[in-house]
Structure 1
């Protein structure tokens, strides 16, 4: 008589492993508190940009680990992370030393058009991969879905930075939005534990930094549009005093100057109020056909989406009347389904480099601060075809 050998848990796909890691960190950080219901499968799938079956696999794994419990036909309930996170099937393991915990402080983002996982999730994957290999544990201290007003952002970021220091975290990787605030606090934190900022610097504070070379990336994107035959390339941007925004603007200006093309910088309101009109956009794109831009380079993908909707109301189509590009590669297609040409930031690599830099500072805190800018790649899609001869 043959006896079947019990099999272990099914192997998780890469997507399920990442979803499990994200949910595990949210539970460990307190984002989902003990006794809370987890969001629905549908909500989690949309949030993480994955299929619902990936979420089911992640939930099954967390149930096996004891981090959550689930009754039939009910949503999962968060257990007690402090009791289950370090446990083994046979006995409780030792608590993980706080100095082995690295805080990743950022907004988790997400939107209906982001199909490949949010930028923040991809940064986390890169951070977690590197830290795990070195014996450290990344904890995602989530600031919320999307940034709000400056004062609100500053309060949340300050609370999370203080939490990391007061609870003995070994270091912090920080994606700041309240760039006018918390300078003294950021400086103080960096003097106590290794601190790496990503995407943007905090003005007036010398910290380690990892991001993309925004100047070069926008120079190359603008040059690409010029090579396609466009002579009137507008640049659509907010006027924000942070270095990614300013570097992208300077990259655009350098490219049109090098080509002898006119500068057409179009500023849009800094707020995201959908009721606030884009007066300059309206004026520029209502110019006669021989004077208005035939291409528009936007400082991020969401601005490109909004511009496409605005131009449609003016009776202009993408790409027949106006070629369109974005920046970030978090949105691969416009709501119409047309592929959006954009600059692809290497998010996972940014996370990996940030973690590597933090590990170096843990080994030797006296090394000078490093400023690392990584190259980005242009993702060409249907929104920027070659200009038809004679159309400009």
Structure 2
């Protein structure tokens, strides 16, 4: 390390950079935002910057000392390929542009810790040049953060081999954080990680949602219906509306949150159906303060994304999960394991058949389910505390080297 860089580091307030490729949906951005908030709250001198490709990043509020840089967006097609959202640029060009913006941001922000969400090499390998530079300077601690479930072991192994993600994980990352419990699921199962890499894995527990000041909830009682970001929530929302349409005695009433990606003609169709239910179902659009709705709900019907699952656990709500099964089995694996552990109930298309009758039965049974807290207590929601302790340890080690 040069004397100039050493002087810059000593006594400087910690800087944390979080990378979130976010080609679609809300999951990666919301996870990074929760981590950044917890880290800066735990250390009032720290600041955090999130690099994100989320198209709705600007619709979120960020805590004090947390900001974001919006990377040019890309869209995932139905066949799994990607297209640029930037006018006049092909996918190769926009990937190169994103890689350059990442490198510039790292150079200017000069982070002490980099936390990479899910993708060891970034979108289409865009992170590799930056990781190579960081490895040469060896000043920034690099962490790979993985959600509790990624995909089926065989599918994941093939995907990581194609992306050269195993080699990147072995070469660049000082630690691997799994935001879950090994007793629930091991997302690295099937990955040929070395013994050394496996020894760097930390099981943090799930990331508790903010349980701070809440707004005034809607009139109670109600159940909350949330498809998360909403982009693939059509089937679940349709099923819930059909249940209330077919059974006029179904109660309590439902509050539906569409999500920012459920829009256009489909949303117009749902709005008309909601209006015809005369208050038995009410609906709101993208709800950045969804914590208030969770807190007041008698139960939840949702899809099986990581962040929604964390909200169910954090607010200790009885829940029915309707997981998607394409393009990956992540949500189904999470919901299946959670059901086996008594945390939630799952509506499985193969086992239960996703029919109006099955949804009516699931809603009626909600009050009779156990609360998640009755199933698992120890370490379940310790994720944010564990992460802040690891950041403190990484920063402490760096400061010792800088002053030694």
TM-score normalized with structure 2 length: 0.32
TM-score normalized with structure 1 length: 0.33
